[in-house]
């Protein structure tokens, strides 16, 4: 029952964000971003044990909105919420691909049952896996910024 409420809430958030913030999609080509998401998902599958799952829709939001939704600082570039990837409205293909890949790893983690988004669940292992694949992508493709060892240590020891 709790899972059903979570899915229902997720669907409501996706629908609300999609309709209210549709004008933000004009700042970047959502079709191109979602096509790139398919390519990046295939890269993840090739470089991990995950099975392919269709990428979720991408919704572009202003920094203030993304910060407000997740209560995080202004450093957040994107976030995965089950069923949707929320990204900054200044998302730039060919520059932010590593960020999209990171969120797609979370999508595949969720789809595979490897991660649950519930109260008091430590997400550090999931973050470490996402950053590991993100760093491999950056080294291999040259798009994005590799996360440094200190940042990874802080994430790994967060719970």
Task: Give the pLDDT confidence score for residue 28 in this predicted structure.
Answer: 67
pTM of the model: 0.80
User: Strand 84-88 vs strand 78-81: parallel, antiparallel, or unpaired?
Assistant: antiparallel
- The predicted pLDDT at position 26 comes to 43
The per-residue pLDDT for 150 is 84
pLDDT digits (tens, 9 = 90+) for 53-79: 999 999 999 989 988 887 766 678 899
Rounded Cα gap, residues 123 and 103, in angstroms: 13
Which positions of the chain have pLDDT values less than 50?
1-26
In this predicted structure, what is the pLDDT of residue 71?
73
Report d(CA 157, CA 159) in Å as an integer: 6
How far from each other are the two terminal CA atoms of the chain, in whole angstroms? Answer: 27
Q: Are 102 and 155 in contact (CB under 8 A)?
A: no
pLDDT given at position 14 = 43
């Amino acid at each position: 029952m709790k899972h059903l409420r979570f899915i229902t809430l997720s669907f409501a958030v996706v629908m609300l964000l999609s309709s209210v913030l549709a004008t933000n999609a004009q700042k970047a080509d959502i079709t191109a971003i979602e096509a790139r998401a398919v390519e990046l998902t295939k890269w993840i599958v090739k470089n991990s044990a995950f099975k392919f799952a269709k990428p979720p829709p991408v919704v572009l939001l202003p920094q203030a909105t993304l910060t407000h939704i997740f209560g995080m600082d202004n450093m957040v570039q994107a976030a995965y919420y089950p069923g949707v990837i929320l990204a900054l409205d200044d998302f730039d293909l060919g520059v932010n691909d590593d960020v999209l890949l990171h969120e797609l790893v979370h999508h595949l983690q969720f789809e595979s049952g490897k991660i649950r988004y519930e109260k008091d669940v430590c997400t550090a292992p999931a973050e470490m896996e996402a950053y590991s694949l993100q760093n491999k992508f950056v080294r291999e493709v040259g798009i994005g910024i590799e996360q440094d060892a200190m940042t990874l240590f802080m994430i790994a020891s967060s719970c």
